[in-house]
Amino acid sequence: MTNSALPTQQDLHKLLKTHFGYDGFRPNQQEIIESICNGQDALVIMPTGGGKSMCFQLPALALDGVALVISPLIALMKDQVDALRANGIKAAYYNSTQPPEEMQKVLSDLQHNALDLIYVAPESLQLLDPVLSTIKISLIAIDEAHCISSWGHDFRPAYTQLGYLKRRYPETPLVALTATADRSTQDDIAQQLSIPQAKKYISSFDRPNLYLDVRPGQKRNEQILDFLEDHPFESGIIYCLSRKSTENLAAKLKSNGHNAAAYHAGMSAEQRSKVQEDFINDTTPIICATIAFGMGIDKSNVRWVIHYNMPKNLEGYYQEIGRAGRDGLPSHTVLFYSYADTMQLRQFIDGAKNADYQMAKLDRMQQYAEALSCRRKVLINYFGEFLSQDCGNCDICKNAPAYFDGTVLTQKVLSGVARMQQKEAMGTVIDVLRGSQNAQVYDKGYQNIKTYGAAKDVSWRDLQQYVIQMINQGLLEIRFRESGRLLLTPLSKEVLYDGKKIQLAKPSKEKAKPITKERKPKKPKGSLFEKLRELRAELAREANVAAYIVFSDASLKDM
C-alpha cells in the first residue's frame, strides 16, 4: 500500500483478518488506527490486555516505511517480534543484548526497506539514529509511555530523551501508549513527548461486573471468615501488606478449615510457582499474598479479591481488583479501610524521594475509601472517564446515602476556586469559604473576595466531604504535582454558567456499616462450641460498635 491513498476501513479490516486472524476491532482500536494513518499524534490509555499493540502494528502494515517502536522491556521485545514474524510480518528488534552481527543485519534490513516494524530499547535508539534519518519512518510508537514520567511508578531515565523524536520527525505520527496514567501523568507524557495537542483515547477502565465494597477495618479476620462462609468453593486472593501477615492469615484460614496458601517474594522460586500453579488449577483456591502475586497470572474465574490493607494508590488497587472476574461474571471485591492503615502508609511514604506526589495519591485512595457517592464513579473518574449514572454495584449504591440539591453550594466552591485563580489547595479553599480568619487567608487578601465566608454555615469536615465529592464527580481537578491545588474542569463551567444541577450526598456519621455478623453455626445447637461462638459473636458486635466510634473520632482528628 502506498501513502498516496489513505487505507480505507475495508483495507484495515482486511489487514486485521489476514495478518492477525481477528474479525473485528476492540473498543477504540479502529479510531486510533485511522488517526495514525491520517498522520495524527495520539495518546492511548488502555487497560492491560486491551490490545494496545494492535494500535501501532496495524498502521505499520498499512503505511509506507518502517514503524519505530520504543519499548522498555527487552525480554518482551523478542516475544512480540517472534509473534509478528509467525504472522508473516517483517519485524525485528534492536538492543544491547544482541550479538554484533545480528545488529548489523538489522541496520542493513532497515536501509533496504525490508522491515515493517523495528522494536528498539530507548537506550539503543542513539545507535540507530544515523540510519533512521536516511529512511522513511511510517510512525513512532512509544509503548509503556508512563515510563517517561519521573513521578510514575516505573520511571526509566532513558525515556526522558524521547522528546526529540517529535521535533526531529514532525511530520511522522507519534503514538504514546500506556495502561497506567492518571490525568496529570497523561498530561506529563504528552508534554514530554512534545505532542501536547495529541488526541487522547481512553478506553474504558470500567469493569461493571466487579462489586466494589469498602468496609471498616475492625476485626478483619472475623469478617474474612464470614465472607468465606458466604463464598464456598470460590477462588480468591487476599492482598496483605507484609510477608509475615500473608503467612499468619493463611495459617489462620487453614486452621478454620479453608484451603489457603501464602505467597510472597521472600519464598523460593519453586515454592512460588507451585503456589501459583495450585491456584490456577483450583487445587488451592485461596491465596494470601503480597502485591508480588498476580502479575502475568491469567486465571479467569477469580471470584473475589480482598484487600486486607489499603493500597498506596488507586492504580495499584485497580490493578489488583482487576484480577477478579476476568470471565465477566459477577465478582466481589472488598477493601478494608482504617485510619491506622493510612497512618502507617503515610509513614512508609514519608521521606521517600517523591513523597509529596505519593502522599497526594494516597489522599485520593483515602478519598475513594471514604467516598459518599458511587465508588465506581470515583474510580473511573480517577482514570479520566466519566460515568453518567451511579453504578448500582457498589456498597454505596446499595446503601444509598441521602442526597440534596447541592448546586448552590457547588457554585460557591467553584467560584471560590476561580476567584483564588485556581492556585489553592483544598484546605485554603475551605478556610476561605468558611470565612476563616487565619493568617494564610489574610496574607493573600482572600478576605476581600466575593466568596469569602459564603459557606460559613457548613462545618469544616462537611465542607471537606463536599469538596471531595466535587472532585470525585469531576467538577474539580487536583494537581498533585502542584501542591494539590484545585482547578476547574469543563464540567465545572457547566455548573457555573449553564445552570447544571448537582446532587451532593449528606455526610453521615456512620459512613460504612461494620458488617460482622454471626456466622452460620456448623455444630448442633447447645454445644459448648456453639455457646462460645454466640458469646464471641456478641462480643464482636459490641466491640465493633465501640471500635467504629473510635474510628470516626480518629478520622475527625485528621481533619
Instruction: List contacts with Mg ion (CB under 5 A).
Output: 52
Question: Residue 402 and residue 450: Cα distance in Å, rounded?
Answer: 30
Residue 46 interaction partner, one of Mg ion, ligand ADP, none, beta carbon < 5-8 Å per kind: ligand ADP
Report phi then psi at 511, rounded to 5: -80, -25
Measured from each CB, the residue nearest to Mg ion is: 52
Min CB(121)–Mg ion separation in Å: 15
Contacting residues for 287 by C-beta, under 8 A, at least 6 apart: 236, 237, 238, 260, 261, 262, 263, 275, 279, 293
Among 12, 25, 35, 115, binds ligand ADP (CB under 6 A): 25
For residue 33, state whether it binds ligand ADP (rule: CB under 6 A): no
For residue 261, the tally of other CB atoms under 10 A from its CB is: 22
**146 or 166: whose CB is closer to Mg ion?**
146
In angstroms and rounded to an integer, the radius of gyration of the C-alpha atoms of the chain is 27
Stretch that binds ligand ADP, among 49-57, 249-257, 292-300, 512-520 (CB under 6 A): 49-57
Contacting residues for 316 by C-beta, under 8 A, at least 6 apart: 291
Of 499, 471, 349, 498, nearest to 413 by C-alpha is 471
Report the side by side order of strands in the sheet with 199-202. 91-94, 117-120, 66-70, 137-142, 174-178, 42-45, 199-202
Stretch that binds ligand ADP, among 43-51, 71-79, 193-201, 293-301 (CB under 6 A): 43-51
Residue 51 interaction partner, one of ligand ADP, Mg ion, none, beta carbon < 5-8 Å per kind: ligand ADP
For residue 326, state whether it binds ligand ADP (rule: CB under 6 A): no
Answer left, alpha or beta for residue 427, where phi above 0 means left and psi between -120 and 50 means alpha: alpha
Of 514, 530, 519, 541, nearest to 225 by C-alpha is 519
Min CB(55)–ligand ADP separation in Å: 8
Min CB(26)–ligand ADP separation in Å: 4
Contacting residues for 227 by C-beta, under 8 A, at least 6 apart: 304, 306, 334
Stretch that binds ligand ADP, among 41-49, 102-110, 187-195, 525-533 (CB under 6 A): 41-49
The size of the interface with ligand ADP (CB under 6 A), counted in residues, is: 12
For residue 348, state whether it binds ligand ADP (rule: CB under 6 A): no
Looking up cell 529512511, which residue turns up? 135
For residue 54, state whether it binds ligand ADP (rule: CB under 6 A): yes
For residue 323, state whether it binds ligand ADP (rule: CB under 6 A): no
Min CB(44)–ligand ADP separation in Å: 9
Min CB(507)–ligand ADP separation in Å: 39
Residue 22 interaction partner, one of ligand ADP, Mg ion, none, beta carbon < 5-8 Å per kind: ligand ADP
- Long-range contacts, 517-520 (Cβ 8 Å, 24+): 517/226, 519/225, 519/226, 519/229, 520/229
Question: Residue 449 and residue 90: Cα distance in Å, rounded?
Answer: 64
Query: Which DSSP state fits 302?
Result: E
For residue 50, state whether it binds ligand ADP (rule: CB under 6 A): yes
**52 or 183: whose CB is closer to Mg ion?**
52
Residue 446 interaction partner, one of ligand ADP, Mg ion, none, beta carbon < 5-8 Å per kind: none
Among 28, 29, 180, 393, binds ligand ADP (CB under 6 A): 29
For residue 22, state whether it binds ligand ADP (rule: CB under 6 A): yes
Q: C-alpha 375: how far from its chain's center?
A: 14
For residue 26, state whether it binds ligand ADP (rule: CB under 6 A): yes
Q: How far is CA 145 from CA 26, 142, 205, 537, in A?
A: 20, 6, 17, 51
Stretch that binds ligand ADP, among 46-54, 103-111, 253-261, 423-431 (CB under 6 A): 46-54
Min CB(57)–ligand ADP separation in Å: 8
- Residues near ligand ADP (CB under 6 A) are 22, 25-26, 29, 46, 48-54
